[in-house]
Amino acid sequence: MDRLREAAGQLALSGNVEARVCDVTDPDAVLDLFQFVTDTYERLDCVVNAAGITRDQLMIRMKDEDWHDVINANLNGIFYVCRRAARIMIRQNTGCIINISSIIGMHGNIGQANYSASKAGIIAMTKSLAREVAGKNIRVNAVAPGFIDTDMTRKLPDDIKESILKGIPLNRMGVTGDVAGIVLFLASDFASYITGQTVVVDGGMTM
């Protein structure tokens, strides 16, 4: 919560910011959040789905709860948010939804069957929803980041980081701003004719 308040404080320098906590795996909590948004602001212009967790393990050793936890947070949570957001945007006849996937959802990764399945599901769900709501002037896209410098990747051993870096043509890890820039573009009018797409942000890692 402290980090949320800190981020809200930084964002507030350029506009009004309201920070709230929502468990996206709880459909009722998602409903309450969007009720607050529509009651307070009377409209919903853009939603960015970025919640996600990992529970890495080889599939033959993966526990049931590790599979279910990741699918629930990474895929079910986005479904609950997209479903509610789309209903509001359909009534408005406009809106934009951006779902954060991963290149792991496109190519898989050892020890991440649960994570890769959830991120692949996000890409497929994005394409399906984009087709369903395009007639209401609603755009739905996905972003697939590669090796980004985050709390999650900082936990990796140095030898694994060095191995991954060797496979990135731009020869550096991405930073959160690299992903944020694409999200900002997709949310803007500059992307008004783009929907159902997955934009890869990986420094050329998968080209």
Per-domain boundaries in the chain: 24-201
d(CA 182, CA 200): 9
Query: What does the pLDDT read at residue 111?
Result: 94
Query: What does the pLDDT read at residue 206?
Result: 94
Report the catalytic residues.
115
d(CA 33, CA 47): 12
Query: Residue 110 — left, alpha, or beta (φ > 0 → left; ψ -120 to 50 → alpha)?
Result: beta
The one-character DSSP state at 172 is S
Confidence of residue 4 (pLDDT cuts 50, 70, 90): confident
d(CA 74, CA 81): 11
The CATH number of the structural domain formed by 24-201 is: 3.40.50.720
Q: Is the per-residue pLDDT at 14 higher than 90? A: no
Q: What is the pLDDT of residues 87-132, one digit of tens each?
A: 999 999 999 999 999 999 999 999 999 999 999 999 999 999 999 9
Q: What is the pLDDT of residues 107-117, one digit of tens each?
A: 999 999 999 99
